[in-house]
């Protein structure tokens, strides 16, 4: 069974033109047509008329998995997964480091029978020492209960190609292509990543369309898992 997975930092549905437009993000998600999509910087109000996570899921016939890192009276903010696969288990991991913005990861087992996959969707911090602590937690989590295939994807915020988090990920997952996804006006940084274990020949590719160039400040990234 071949699955398409994608990761997308939607920047609170605010595009490069400064306009808040959830329907534009919805159109990008429809373009992606992936079986599993990891979202970062999603802002939603569970009590409001337009609950964005549920709205996206209902419009595209996905199951939503919420992974908020900030719980607020005026709306939650953080990570999410949209999936077409049955959801077996979900564990929200707190990756927050003191004095830094709250961060987290969603650890989900999807599928059924012998075709289960493990998906970890995350958005790491802005500071090198913060990311190193967060990556050590994620690698310990991965080593504790291995499931193949395992996919780690999201906005890793790793600007440094020689940074320790990337070296650790290469050691665990093997090499993974890292095309530039940020900023959309002229992508030069590979902040968004998809890692798959066991490593597969289908490498991540940027979804570069007129719509993705304006809908967020990040380009979506997708890959095929076989």
Pairing of strands 3-9, 36-44: parallel
pLDDT band at 201 (very low <50, low <70, confident <90, very high): low
**pLDDT tens-digit series, residues 81-130:** 999 999 999 999 999 998 988 999 999 999 988 788 999 999 999 999 99
Pairing of strands 150-155, 192-197: antiparallel
Could you give the C-alpha distances from 223 to 51, 135, 159, 194, 199, in angstroms and in order?
Answer: 28, 22, 21, 7, 12
All structural domains of the chain: 3-225 (3.60.10.10)
* CA 146 – CA 150 distance, rounded (Å): 8
Task: Give the closest residue to 145 by CA, choosing from 114, 107, 112.
Answer: 107
Q: Average pLDDT, whole number, for the chain? A: 90
The residue-averaged pLDDT of 8-14 equals 96
What separation, in Å, do the N-terminal and C-terminal C-alpha atoms of the chain show?
6
The residue-averaged pLDDT of 210-226 equals 94
* CA 213 – CA 221 distance, rounded (Å): 13
Decide: pTM greater than 0.75: yes
* CA 12 – CA 217 distance, rounded (Å): 10
pLDDT at position 144 is 75
pLDDT at position 34 is 97
Q: Does residue 185 carry a pLDDT above 90?
A: yes
Of 68-82, 166-180, 183-197, give the lowest mean pLDDT range.
68-82
Q: Does residue 50 carry a pLDDT above 70?
A: no
């Amino acid at each position: 069974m071949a699955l398409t997975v994608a990761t997308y930092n939607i920047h609170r549905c605010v595009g490069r033109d400064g306009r808040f437009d959830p329907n534009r993000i919805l159109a990008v998600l429809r373009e992606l047509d992936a079986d599993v999509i990891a979202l970062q910087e999603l802002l939603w109000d569970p009590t409001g008329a337009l609950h964005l996570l549920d709205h996206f899921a209902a419009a595209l016939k996905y199951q939503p998995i919420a992974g908020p890192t900030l719980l607020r009276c005026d709306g939650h903010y953080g990570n999410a997964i949209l999936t077409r696969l049955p959801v077996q288990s979900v564990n929200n991991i707190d990756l927050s480091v003191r004095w830094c913005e709250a961060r987290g990861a969603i650890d989900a087992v999807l599928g059924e029978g012998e075709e289960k996959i493990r998906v970890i969707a995350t958005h790491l911090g802005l500071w090198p020492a913060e990311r190193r602590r967060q990556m050590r937690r994620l690698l310990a989590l991965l080593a504790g209960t291995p499931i193949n295939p395992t996919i780690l994807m999201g906005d890793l915020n790793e600007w440094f190609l020689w940074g320790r988090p990337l070296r650790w990920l290469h050691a665990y997952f093997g090499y993974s292509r890292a095309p530039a996804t940020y900023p959309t006006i002229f992508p030069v940084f590979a902040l968004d990543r998809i890692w798959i274990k066991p490593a597969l020949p289908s490498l991540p590719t940027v979804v570069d369309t007129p719509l993705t160039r304006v809908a967020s400040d990040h380009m979506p990234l997708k890959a095929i898992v076989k």
